[in-house]
Structure 1
Amino acid sequence: MHTSTTSTVALVPWSAQQLEQATQGRWYLDRIPSHPIKRILTDSRHAEAGDAFLALKGERFDARNFVPQVAKQGCQVAIVSEPIENLDICQLIVADTRLALGHLGAYRRREYPQLKVIALTGSSGKTTVKEMLGSILSRCAPTLVTRGNLNNDLGVPMMLLELNADHQYAVMELGASHAGEIDYTAQMVQPHVAGILNIGTAHLGEFGGRDGICRAKSEIYAHIQANGTAIVPAADDYTAQITGAVVSKQRLSFGEGGDVYASDIELLAQSSRFVLHTPVGHRQLELPFAGLHNVHNAEAATAFALAIGVGLEQIIDGLVAAKNAQGRLNFIYKRNTLFIDDTYNANPSSMRAAAQVLTQQAGFKVMVMGDIGELGDASEQEHHDLGRDISTLALDVVIAVGAYAIQTAAGAASNSAQNNIHAFATQADALKYLIQLIDQHQHQQMSFLFKGSRFTHMETLMTDLMEKF
């Protein structure tokens, strides 16, 4: 199991007794490490002297097979569910290594009761709101922020292992790929403030519908600490169901009709201007993020920050200084051509929002969209509807790439007489057409947007095209 462990924080070492206590495990043959354990890893490639290698087990892999290898690399401690005979390594035997990782994360979280924790979930916008909150809170005090996609039942405890006494805040992004996952991770992080951004169609296949998605994400509210605050979207079509799941007395809403909302919105090519209204006052600002959806993300970030005790001026400063994560509407110029890299991931809502951002750009506008995954039985219909909606926008060419490109093109054809959408099964075929487009419009300013689900690797197609310049 290769989970990113890249960290810039000072890790707190573990004693053998702490590991035993946290995991409810036992040391095999009473062989106990004599030195502190500097870090806990699930990636065998990086294990070395001073580490503890935690051997996860999945349907198609068993990292216990890598224990002999990490021993050769100098790693002296392994956390396993079954002992390995005749191996020169200290072995902590636990009932389930996946659950042991959760126990370790929860143990570390309990060690810092002074820590103020925000937990957030939603179908789209989680990464951007997380980055906005990181910008706001890190200006106040040291803050731990979920890195990359470490937001599941393995990633959340891996992030908690990075906590140290310097941290005053933590922003934890919680994802859900199955019912009960957020219940598990929210209990682990013990948030003071928690909330849902929206209920969309991401992971539609896993939950059988939006009702199931709403129930799964609403699990986050059950674990808000006493006197904590629940954050709810005021303008979501699932607002009533979300609000019904809240158990906290204190709550703060965001969006149209909410406690925190934006007015006088002006959408610019790469930013937006608006007046931000809150219960403690209002301010005008220019947000360095494009698109109406990012205005809504700023509303949400403001509500979370206010609930954790941050002042309005500090919030504004943090929003103005915030930066998008890699692969999230990053604007890249090469000669007179704009490439918008939004390849980090995609769902139907975020694909529509990105297309709107492209309409604000200059010149000949080309949208290159890969497949959206995890939609289950609704995949064909969702891609059809996406093509239908995007065909109404002021875009010059739309290029659909992947297994559902035909459905996307069919949706566009059902709604528009314009033949400006082209379907390709492979990136190689799409690249040939893109190169032709550039040749045809070489004396014209052009703007490209690339977006798709993570598994489509649309950044590869974008890079291949940029290399042709």
Structure 2
Amino acid sequence: MHTSTTSTVPLEPWTAEQLAAATQGHWHNHQVPQGEIKRILTDSRHAEAGDAFLALKGERFDAHDFVAQVAEKGCQIAIVSHPVEVDICQLVVSDTRLALGALGAYRRQHNPQLKVIALTGSSGKTTTKEMLGSILSRLAPTLITRGNLNNDLGVPMMLLELRPEHQYAVMELGANHQGEIDYTSNLVQPHVAGILNIGTAHLGEFGGRDGICRAKSEIYAHIAKDGTAIFPSDDDFTAQIKTAIQNEKILSFGQGGDIFATDIELQPQETTFTLNTPQATSRVQLPFAGEHNVQNALAAVAFALALDIDLQDIVQGLEQAQGAKGRLNFIPHKNYLFIDDTYNANPSSMRAAAEVLAKQEGIRVMVIGDIGELGAAAAIEHYKLGRDLVSVKGLNFVVAVGEFAPAAQEGARSTQYGKKMQAFLTQEQALPLLISLVETHQTQSMSFLFKGSRYTHMETLMAQLMEKL
């Protein structure tokens, strides 16, 4: 876990007894630490006196190798799956990864005042989470998943940050394999949980959207008996999703659902719509662009209503919400508009971003990096994407960068708009073209949108272009 994922707020301390009870571990050689343990961490670089270092083991690393290093930094406790030859108190557990989960679950169980929302989906998770955070944190202290701490390690790491003052928690759950959401939703024990949509993200791991739907639907297994299940009313997989729901209380969002939008007005940088709920209707001025964000807002409303939040508070929270970094952030720079949507990408969010760019002023240039985790479907998905992006009315240029840029360009050339797209294998090759586009259209205003999967670091190319202007 890197520094950006580390909390700055003092955490609830642990005792040696609590650590052993939570993990079912035993203290090696009966060396039991005395005094309070201030935090549990998995990153050896930040270990210091008062910490317990939990040694994870991955395919390519084994943090048991760093126990000596943390001991030198003054850390007196390690949680290990086998004793190591270091003079440090060692709590021996059967599996450190599962022990991390058990510690997170222990924190969750010892905060009975907490109302938990758990959400998953192929796209929109982060934005919906930020909208919910904006609604709930106005009312009471709320724990919100930071960054991408949404997997079998990240979720318990977030739960370790629970404190008695927290009244709400918004937990984002991601899935890289079958069974992962079953595991994490069992840890968080939600009162309200649901799926936003079933898209094509992570196609490679699940061998198709059916598999994605099965994996995401695991979220419904652990909702409190008197809790509420949330689902999209107009998804291709709505019928399949509903078969996984076990709760009596359900709320749907989207066209034909319990919570839906009418009179949608899309502006370049915001959206207004009428919010319709079973209780009442309200006009909402959403500070997010794009119709897909109306859908995210409807989902946030459904989750909040299920916690009995007042509609007026919900609307105020939505209207004050801010996007996460790298999620359609609008950055005016000199005479240009840059839209930073570089945090991540999947096929449906790429198409949604193109629609947002099409609403902006001047010459509109979309710069896309590769989409990861599509498995064997990668080439065909990029081909379809290229075909669809150049066909978006209002886009003047599409610049594709990366291994699958040629596949996207082939898709573009299957249409009459093939000339709109240029393909490059690297960012270095793409930069001169972007600079020449600016020089060619000197007298006109221009809007750029940058987007790609996290590993493509499209923000680097965006920063390089901004520097040259």
Q: Report the TM-score, using the length of structure 1 for normalisation.
A: 0.99
Is residue 2:190 matched to residue 1:212? no
Q: Which residue of 2 aligns with 1:250?
A: 249
Shift, 1:4, TM fit: 4.9
Q: Which residue of 2 aligns with 1:27?
A: 27
8 Å CA contact 2:230, 2:302 repeated in 1:
yes
Q: Which residue of 2 aligns with 1:368?
A: 367
**Alpha-carbon separation, structure 1, partners of 2:96 and 2:4:** 17
Amino acid aligned to 1:128: T
Shift, 1:9, TM fit: 3.3
Shift, 1:2, TM fit: 4.6
Q: Which residue of 2 aligns with 1:152?
A: 151
**Alpha-carbon separation, structure 2, partners of 1:198 and 1:34:** 48
Q: Which residue of 2 aligns with 1:310?
A: 309
- 1:334-373 equivalences in 2 (<5 Å): 334-373=333-372
**Alpha-carbon separation, structure 2, partners of 1:44 and 1:143:** 28
Amino acid aligned to 2:377: A
**Alpha-carbon separation, structure 1, partners of 2:31 and 2:241:** 50
Shift, 1:441, TM fit: 1.2
Amino acid aligned to 1:329: L
Shift, 1:285, TM fit: 1.5
**Once structures 1 and 2 are overlaid, which stretch shifts more, 418-427 or 185-194?**
418-427
Q: Which deviations, in whole Å up to 9, do the C-alpha atoms of 1:197-216 show, x marking residues without a partner?
A: 00000000000000000000
Q: Which deviations, in whole Å up to 9, do the C-alpha atoms of 1:142-168 show, x marking residues without a partner?
A: 000000000000000000000010000
Q: Which residue of 2 aligns with 1:296?
A: 295
**Alpha-carbon separation, structure 1, partners of 2:332 and 2:319:** 22
8 Å CA contact 1:178, 1:207 repeated in 2:
yes
**Alpha-carbon separation, structure 2, partners of 1:154 and 1:177:** 12
Give SS of 1:333's match: strand
Q: Which residue of 1 aligns with 2:387?
A: 388
Q: How many residues end up aligned between the 2 structures?
A: 468
Gaps of 5+ in 1: none
Q: Which residue of 2 aligns with 1:399?
A: 399
Amino acid aligned to 2:138: R
Amino acid aligned to 1:70: V
**Alpha-carbon separation, structure 2, partners of 1:468 and 1:391:** 26
8 Å CA contact 2:390, 2:417 repeated in 1:
no
Q: Which residue of 1 aligns with 2:71?
A: 71
Shift, 1:442, TM fit: 1.7
Shift, 1:5, TM fit: 4.0
**Alpha-carbon separation, structure 2, partners of 1:332 and 1:260:** 32
Q: Which residue of 2 aligns with 1:167?
A: 166
- 1:40-439 equivalences in 2 (<5 Å): 40-85=40-85, 87-393=86-392, 394-439=394-439
Amino acid aligned to 1:249: E
- Does the C-alpha gap of structure 1 residues 115 and 292 become closer, same or farther in structure 2, counting only changes over 3 Å? same
Q: Which deviations, in whole Å up to 9, do the C-alpha atoms of 1:122-144 show, x marking residues without a partner?
A: 00000000000000000111000
Q: Which deviations, in whole Å up to 9, do the C-alpha atoms of 1:228-256 show, x marking residues without a partner?
A: 00001001010000011100000000000
8 Å CA contact 2:363, 2:446 repeated in 1:
yes
**Alpha-carbon separation, structure 2, partners of 1:183 and 1:304:** 19
Shift, 1:417, TM fit: 4.1
Shift, 1:391, TM fit: 1.3
**Alpha-carbon separation, structure 1, partners of 2:157 and 2:100:** 8
CA RMSD of aligned residues (A): 0.9
8 Å CA contact 2:391, 2:417 repeated in 1:
no
Amino acid aligned to 1:401: V
Amino acid aligned to 1:233: P
8 Å CA contact 2:201, 2:373 repeated in 1:
yes
**Alpha-carbon separation, structure 2, partners of 1:417 and 1:318:** 42
Give SS of 1:112's match: coil
**Alpha-carbon separation, structure 2, partners of 1:12 and 1:201:** 39
Q: Which deviations, in whole Å up to 9, do the C-alpha atoms of 1:65-99 show, x marking residues without a partner?
A: 011000111111001111112x2211111100000
**Alpha-carbon separation, structure 2, partners of 1:112 and 1:50:** 23
**Alpha-carbon separation, structure 2, partners of 1:82 and 1:8:** 31
Amino acid aligned to 1:183: D
Q: Which deviations, in whole Å up to 9, do the C-alpha atoms of 1:156-194 show, x marking residues without a partner?
A: 000000001000000000000000000000000000000
**Alpha-carbon separation, structure 1, partners of 2:11 and 2:468:** 44
Shift, 1:278, TM fit: 0.4
Give SS of 1:226's match: coil
Give SS of 2:132's match: helix
**Alpha-carbon separation, structure 1, partners of 2:103 and 2:157:** 9
**Alpha-carbon separation, structure 2, partners of 1:365 and 1:418:** 16
Shift, 1:10, TM fit: 3.2
Gaps of 5+ in 2: none
Give SS of 2:455's match: helix
8 Å CA contact 1:5, 1:41 repeated in 2:
no
8 Å CA contact 1:3, 1:42 repeated in 2:
no
Shift, 1:113, TM fit: 1.2
**Alpha-carbon separation, structure 2, partners of 1:62 and 1:95:** 15
**Alpha-carbon separation, structure 2, partners of 1:5 and 1:64:** 21
Amino acid aligned to 1:397: F
8 Å CA contact 2:272, 2:283 repeated in 1:
yes
**Alpha-carbon separation, structure 2, partners of 1:237 and 1:450:** 28
8 Å CA contact 2:409, 2:418 repeated in 1:
no
| Structure 1 runs of 4+ with >6 Å offset | none
**Once structures 1 and 2 are overlaid, which stretch shifts more, 63-72 or 408-417?**
408-417
Q: Report the TM-score, using the length of structure 2 for normalisation.
A: 0.99
Shift, 1:416, TM fit: 2.0
**Alpha-carbon separation, structure 2, partners of 1:76 and 1:440:** 63
Give SS of 2:409's match: helix
Give SS of 1:165's match: coil
Q: Which residue of 1 aligns with 2:7?
A: 7
**Alpha-carbon separation, structure 2, partners of 1:282 and 1:269:** 24
8 Å CA contact 1:5, 1:158 repeated in 2:
no
Give SS of 2:143's match: strand
Amino acid aligned to 1:116: K
**Alpha-carbon separation, structure 2, partners of 1:416 and 1:10:** 59
Shift, 1:8, TM fit: 3.8
Identity percentage of aligned residues:
69
